[in-house]
């Protein structure tokens, strides 16, 4: 008797975040300075979101200038509800324009994305 195949289910939201994070982190330039800057920005992002809120955390990444652009791009491309059309350049503006409920959802989602980005950095970047 042939074995019945289980129906394919779409990946869970957390699986999508993990895939996005590992794909994004693999695209970080391989020079040491770019990776150090990215690692510093990612490591502080989750704590900044919890401590100060999403808008303030994004402002701190923006203050990094060019060093934060890659991270902003990765956050913008994470397919967060309410921010699907965001780019690195307009992510903070889009977040500030959200209503309270959407802001809370975006905060939770981007906190999870930040956690996965941090895990991906820890797993893939070599410490020298």
Domains and CATH numbers, the chain: 15-21+31-124 (1.10.520.30)
Centre a 10 Å sphere on the Cβ of residue 65 and count the other Cβ atoms it contains. 8
User: Taking the C-alpha atoms of 43, 45, 48 and 49 in order, what is their torsion angle to the nearest 10 degrees?
Assistant: -140
Query: pLDDT digits over 41-62, tens only?
Result: 999 999 999 999 999 999 999 9
Find where tokens 């893939």 sit: 124
End-to-end CA distance of the chain: 55
* Sign of the torsion angle spanned by Cα atoms 118, 25, 48, 99: negative
Please determine, for residue 120, whether its predicted confidence score (pLDDT) is greater than 60.
yes
Give the mean pLDDT of the chain. Answer: 92
Calculate mean pLDDT across residues 84-94: 94
More confident residue, 13 or 110: 110
77 in Cβ contact with 24 (< 8 Å):
yes
Q: Which residue has the tokens 């989602």?
A: 109
Whether 31 shows a pLDDT value over 70: the answer reads yes
The whole-number average pLDDT for the span 85-91 is 94
């Amino acid at each position: 008797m042939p074995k019945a195949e289980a129906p394919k289910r779409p990946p869970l939201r957390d699986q999508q975040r993990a895939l996005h994070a590992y794909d994004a982190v693999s695209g970080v330039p391989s020079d040491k300075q770019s990776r150090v800057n990215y690692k510093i920005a990612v490591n502080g992002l989750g704590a900044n979101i919890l401590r100060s809120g999403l808008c303030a955390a994004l402002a701190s990444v923006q203050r990094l200038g060019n060093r934060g652009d890659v991270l902003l791009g990765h956050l913008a491309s994470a397919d967060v509800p309410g921010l699907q059309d965001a780019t690195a350049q307009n992510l903070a503006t889009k977040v500030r324009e959200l209503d309270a409920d959407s802001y809370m959802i975006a905060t939770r989602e981007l906190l999870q994305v930040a956690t996965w980005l941090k895990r991906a950095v820890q797993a893939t970047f070599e410490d020298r």
